[in-house]
Structure 1
């Protein structure tokens, strides 16, 4: 019997690799694809194949042509986006019924509303979910009408990894902010507390996969590379929130960042309608694959020990630990935690991840961008109409 095929896009992401391992363990012929070279994915034993397509931002017509050819050759049962190419896929799905039937994602307008920090705030209000008071900014008059900036956080409406976020800015920093109708910003009431996140997936409005996690180490831009399950009632509160949001999303993957305040209440900050680091907490369990397909029971991850991305943990974490006087914390995390890129019997992706990191770093240097921006420039979606 021929194994069913699944296609995972966004192969550059470590989450895509762990998704591939989960699907392979569940008996799927798993294929990965991306518009960037991905040594991490290519050097893994998990995928049956790794494919390339054109960058959807720079070459949308070629992207569609490549994707149509890939779908025709592989005939995947399911297409699982791992990064922001999900927006470009969902836009294509509006005029390509066969893609829509295979794509694990909500419709384009739902994706847009989840990704928009302004519209997501409206979703939270409409469904009674806890979120800080949010204002949408389109010009100087909106800035002038705000409460004192020392009580606020400012973010572009469409952004990722905390890029350009201003937390309780002073007047000098706020003076450089220039929101326009075509490049809107949002202001959120600042909530002091501990940052947490969750990853979830749903089918037909029913939550099928869930993991909650906190970031123990992160890059200066905000991307985390070490994480563990939160303590106390936080997981149960986030699970209830995710269950409600599953009814909004319908089908697909979604993840949210939140703040736990001094009273233990979770406040939703933003949503990322794609795979995130929460995938790693499932430890490549085939049950996750079945939950995403929709032919298995709901699954919840609750690992007892931390997880980390080994290349980033060494390259970024060790220097940060030395700067911050946290070498003891770093060593404990290394000893108690588990790497998610190098799996038993599949260690070569560790070297591949280093190669990918060097490639993206060179790209960032040549373009005068941050590493985070260079890693998403060819796939990110910032509110443009498809």
Structure 2
């Protein structure tokens, strides 16, 4: 099977490429960076640099359609926010299985206000009180709450103490809305789920740790969580989702709250990748995704569900914690290097970027990091902001294509 993976800058793109190549598939990777990690991955057929979808969505569409047709791509797997641009023209790729759900569903899930109305009533979880803001005068300064744009990432723009900022200086308007949301204190949790036309293929709940900026985790500890399992199964029944989706949660006063949704690949993929199998359908000549799982890990399933084991894996108990490179060692500051727990966690986990059969050259991360640093300096942005500024989606539906 010939597969195109977009968002080659992302560690999850590396994970997808490796699991596919291990199974004999041909992998093409693309991105709009000059030096993304995926470009240097051993074993891929090619890397193709595209136009930035955010800067020129029509040209991006032209290039992806041409790439898919020229190389007869059978499966397209987005990994980052380019998915919102791909979703606008995925219907044109008729001979390709695009792991992309309907655009309007993706946009509603991505919107930190609309997502709660969409998910309302689903079992297993609760939702924080949330108010959409289109002007700073709507902010209630006495409410124990947080503020964040309806479209943001990495927790960079989240205001966790509204009493410490000048609220009138915030850029809040109808075109750039924010939300004021109930402040929740507790354990942060995440999940990752993979769906094939509404069918849950793989699911893992994990605890994020060693976070950059208090939000972007570099260490992922798999766990079991009954409430989140109930929620994702309710989500599966409610929506005919196709592709990858992830949610962030907080356990607050004995209840599990959904905080936001990322309708794309996230780091939870690393925890389920070894159980996924992908192959071509003989009838449709498009890619399909399935999961293989050890019987020992699903002994709790009912007998009537055992026939589903070839296509469903949920919270694999044997999954090992994983980390992203050596960034976890300094994610919380250089003082983390001098804590015993840091080194205990490091030695007990697996490096998600390491692989003997399909390695990344030691200098690849240096080149990619140098490009990111140069971009950040040139645009006067933080490294986190610079890492997505050319692909992110901030609600500009209908503005470019």
TM over 0.5: yes
Matched, 1:148 2:142: yes
* Structure 2: segments with no counterpart, 5+ residues: 281-286, 292-310
Match of 1:367 among 379, 392, 395: 379
Match of 1:340 among 346, 352, 355: 352
2:243 paired residue number:
252
2:229 paired residue number:
239
Q: Secondary structure, in 3 states, of the residue corresponding to 1:266?
A: strand
CA distance in 1, matches of 2:175, 2:246: 26
Q: Secondary structure, in 3 states, of the residue corresponding to 1:212?
A: strand
Q: Secondary structure, in 3 states, of the residue corresponding to 1:228?
A: strand
Q: For each residue in 1:354-383, what CA deviation from the matched residue of structure 2 results, as whole angstroms up to 9, or x when unmatched?
A: 321221012101211010110101100000
CA distance in 2, matches of 1:250, 1:345: 33
Match of 2:102 among 107, 116, 138: 107
Q: Secondary structure, in 3 states, of the residue corresponding to 1:353?
A: helix
Matched, 1:381 2:377: no
* Structure 1: segments with no counterpart, 5+ residues: none
Q: Which of 376-385 and 23-32 deviates more? A: 23-32
Q: For each residue in 1:211-257, what CA deviation from the matched residue of structure 2 results, as whole angstroms up to 9, or x when unmatched?
A: 11111201116211111113xxx522212212222332521110010
1:295 shift after superposition: 4.6
CA distance in 2, matches of 1:380, 1:201: 21
- 1:201-212 map, 5 Å: 201-212=194-205
1:24 shift after superposition: 1.5
Higher helix share: 1
- 1:289-328 map, 5 Å: 289=278, 293-296=288-291, 297-300=311-314, 301-314=316-329, 316=331, 319-322=334-337, 327-328=339-340
Matched, 1:139 2:135: yes
Q: For each residue in 1:149-192, what CA deviation from the matched residue of structure 2 results, as whole angstroms up to 9, or x when unmatched?
A: 3x111110011111210114216443433421111111111111
Matched, 1:160 2:153: yes
1:118 paired residue number:
113
1:75 paired residue number:
72
CA distance in 2, matches of 1:278, 1:255: 8
CA distance in 1, matches of 2:361, 2:253: 40
- Asked if 2 retains the 8 angstrom alpha-carbon contact of 1:10 and 1:82, the reply is yes
Q: Secondary structure, in 3 states, of the residue corresponding to 2:47?
A: strand
CA distance in 2, matches of 1:276, 1:338: 17
Count of aligned pairs: 370
1:118 shift after superposition: 0.6
1:339 shift after superposition: 0.5
- Asked if 1 retains the 8 angstrom alpha-carbon contact of 2:212 and 2:218, the reply is yes
- Asked if 2 retains the 8 angstrom alpha-carbon contact of 1:8 and 1:31, the reply is yes
2:94 paired residue number:
98
Q: For each residue in 1:238-289, what CA deviation from the matched residue of structure 2 results, as whole angstroms up to 9, or x when unmatched?
A: 12212222332521110010001232x210000001000001112x425254
- Asked if 1 retains the 8 angstrom alpha-carbon contact of 2:276 and 2:290, the reply is no
1:303 shift after superposition: 4.3
Q: TM-score, normalised by structure 1?
A: 0.89
When residues 194 and 72 of structure 1 are mapped into structure 2, their CA distance, relative to the original with a 3 A threshold, is same
Matched, 1:127 2:122: yes
- Asked if 2 retains the 8 angstrom alpha-carbon contact of 1:8 and 1:30, the reply is yes
Q: For each residue in 1:322-378, what CA deviation from the matched residue of structure 2 results, as whole angstroms up to 9, or x when unmatched?
A: 5xxx62122112211110112123333453123212210121012110101101011
Q: Secondary structure, in 3 states, of the residue corresponding to 1:98?
A: coil
CA distance in 1, matches of 2:253, 2:357: 44
- 1:190-229 map, 5 Å: 190-220=183-213, 222-229=215-222
